[in-house]
A and B are shown apart, each in its own frame.
Chain A
Amino acid sequence: MNKILEVKNISKRFGNIQALRNVSFDVEKGEFVFIVAHTNAGKSTLLKIIAGILEPDEGEIYIEGENITKTPPWERPVGYMPQTYALFPHMTVLENVMFGPIHRGLDREEAIEKAQKYIELVGLKGWEKAYPHELSGGMQQRVALARVLAVEPKIILLDEPLSALDALLRVKLRGEIKKILKGKTVLWVTHDQEGAMSLADKLIVMRSGRIVAVGNAMELYYKPPSLYVAHFLGEINFIESVAHGGFVQILDTKVSTDKIGPVVIGIRPEDIKIVKNNSSPLGRVKELRFVSGFWRLLVDVEGIDLVVYSLKRIRSKEVSLRIRPEDVLVFDYPPEGIRRAVHLE
């Protein structure tokens, strides 16, 4: 265990709003950790507290075992990249990237050397004399990244670095950032669950100021601890049911469970298979949509609407469906009802 960052019981209130409630987690050396949550869940506040821009009401922050809760931001060994990049518009790329090292006591020569090293790393060699407004959005973002790297922090904190960019560019840059930051310790905050799952070594899901799940992306996607996490990480069918005698049933599939009474069955659309088999339950295809490489069907089976993904176009009006017991999730029925239990905002 080589903990770089330890966040312990952090709480923060703004007036009547409890922005963070008792938040604790660790980041280990070389780990790529994502905090993923809806807007206003407190994730940016948390990052600002770690960066030292905000003070917590309660709790402590440790870096390599040292309590830095009261340390001013410029003395913390962290590199923080805010959502807006906040490049200095009147400074060139080189001056922007040199700023941190100089501020931390390096002399001009050393700072230039350091800046050049990281400008090259982010792929902007040759652009040292350009001003931010002369660069595209993606390039500005890389300058911001170089600026954060140039202070050689123990941990890099990224607040929604891709939110200002359009969808296509986002996918491309996501991969590039991961490559540039390879081997570094990173804490990245976003609302984009797909992007987070695709890059994270560890995923932290927050909801309304609390951590509701920590784990690896596949674990949380396939074995989510709650209805909320199941729904937040991707489309899923929820079906109300009742468990008795150690079983629940969905279509003709029996699933064993230790739950008793009202439950919610969860099944991902890609885990419902369309089969050529007359003995499997029949459903009526109510809707068929092509969504970037696969088909999304809405199928009515015995009065229940199921979303089903298919790699092939389905031409018939009726389909036979099969569900494997090992793909089925069983949750306790939430007292507040399903809709409230999974509400995203």
Chain B
Amino acid sequence: MRIVVRNVRKRFGKVVAVDDVSFEVKDGEIFGIIGLSGCGKTTLLKIIAGILRPDSGKIYFDDVDVTNLALEERKIGFVFQDVRLFNHLTAIENIAYAPTLRGEQDREELVDWLMGFIRADLSKSTMPTELSRGMQQKISLARAIASEPNLLLLDEPLAGLDARIKSTMVFELRDMIKDVGVTAIYVTHDQWEISSIADRIAIMKAGKIIQIGTPEELYYRPVNDYVAAFMGGECNLLNAYSLGNSQFKIGDLIIKGSRNIENGRNVKLAIKLDAFIPNGRFEAKIIERNFMGPFTRLVLDINGIKFIAKMPSKQVFNVDKVFVDIDPNKIVVFER
């Protein structure tokens, strides 16, 4: 199901919660919405679900205008941050709930399939309360999928889970959603999580969408420094000035950027942590290091200027300096 949101506005008293928002979610796409709390993402979700009516604007499911349809008529599957399973039913009965209501003959088959795909050792009598919260969320998703919804809405489904559980579950949720091919909208404030699960992401700030793109586009081609800082995780934001020819000067350091700006203009450079490539021509002293598993976070001193970098751990073992190049494609140039 293709979802179209067109010029949606919603105001609460003086606060414009959703300000002229338009976007399209393709059939079978996982579309992410990310923003800090209060940015309007939950209000937008409620409008798409039919829980709230917009002040103006339209919502279409395929080509049907659903703006005035009630929640029940939109056929939406929900997964919320707080688990809302039926605790008087077994885990399996929870998953089979909608197929049972529909009186389907082949529901056993559907439930078997879903069980295989949540990869769980559940017995027929396992109750939701006996399960960990991570597993409960997987059951919630399986139940939502079994209801054969037009659209899945996931609102912070992994919030509050341990970091390591979250990082394994996010890929499992993606597999489950992609295997059935249902269209989904996924809301969170965690940039790592959204990059791991969504095909495209909309970044919201103060009721507006400021950029829509793939995780890669938002990371390497952010439209402004807000997006750069938000989607890039940590980022080096430095003032510099242009020397023309895509060259920029920071202190005594001259580096190449991703685009040309008129000579003499002041710019701001957003340099990604992964922009630093080993075996290059700049000598970088390692002032600080934090081992993070696959990557090590470094504070580098290049010609007296400090940069934060992330490099493969095994390449920076037991050394106090490295020679690096700075990848121009991983430097975003903003005019000041």
**A residues within 8 Å of B by Cβ?**
38-39, 166-168, 171-172, 175, 191-195, 197-199, 217-218, 221, 232-235, 268-271, 289-294, 296, 309, 311, 313, 339, 344-345
Contacts and interface: CB of A to CB of B under 8 A. Distances in A.
B164 A193 contact: yes
Given A38-B162, A292-B233, A166 B189 contact: yes
Nearest to B134: A345
A293 B313 CA distance: 14
Interface in B42-63: none
B294 A39 contact: no
B123 interface: no
B79 to A, nearest CB: 19
Interface string B221-234: 00000000110111
A293 B272 contact: yes
A269 B294 contact: yes
Contact of B168 (A172, A197, A313, A344): A344
Given A171-B233, A269-B294, A289 B273 contact: no
Interface in B306-320: 310, 312-314
Contact of A168 (B121, B230, B273): B230
B195 A291 contact: yes
Nearest to B191: A167
Contacts of A290: 195, 214-216, 219
Contact of A218 (B214, B233, B272, B291): B291
Instruction: Across the A-B interface, give the 10 residue pairs with the lowest CB-CB distance, nearest first.
Output: A198-B290, A293-B274, A345-B132, A270-B294, A191-B162, A234-B293, A290-B216, A192-B163, A290-B215, A198-B292
B325 interface: no
Nearest to A235: B167
23 contacts: A38-B162, A39-B162, A167-B192, A168-B229, A191-B163, A193-B164, A194-B163, A197-B292, A198-B297, A221-B293, A233-B293, A268-B294, A269-B294, A270-B314, A290-B195, A291-B215, A292-B192, A292-B232, A296-B196, A311-B274, A339-B121, A344-B165, A345-B132
Contacts of B292: 194, 197-198
Given A194-B292, A221-B291, A269-B294, A294 B163 contact: no
A41 to B, nearest CB: 10
Contacts of A217: 291
A194 B293 contact: yes
Contacts of B165: 38, 344-345
A168 B215 contact: no
B36 interface: yes
A336 B35 CA distance: 42
B301 interface: no
B20 interface: no
Contact of A270 (B121, B134, B195, B312): B312
Given A197-B291, A234-B294, A294-B274, A344 B162 contact: yes
B148 interface: no
A126 B229 CA distance: 28
Given A289-B196, A290-B195, A344-B162, A311 B230 contact: no
A194 B274 CA distance: 17
Contacts of A291: 192, 195-196, 215
Contacts of A193: 163-164
Given A197-B293, A289-B196, A167 B162 contact: no
Contacts of A296: 196
A191 B167 CA distance: 12
Interface in B272-312: 272-274, 290-295, 297, 310, 312
A293 B219 contact: yes
Contact of B189 (A167, A194, A292, A339): A167
A289 B293 CA distance: 19
Given A198-B291, A290-B214, A345-B134, A171 B234 contact: yes
B164 A344 contact: yes
Nearest to B214: A290
B27 interface: no
B190 interface: yes
Contacts of B119: 339
A122 B163 CA distance: 27
Residue from B162, B230, B295 whose CB has the most chain A CB atoms within 10 Å: B162
Contact of B233 (A168, A175, A195, A344): A168
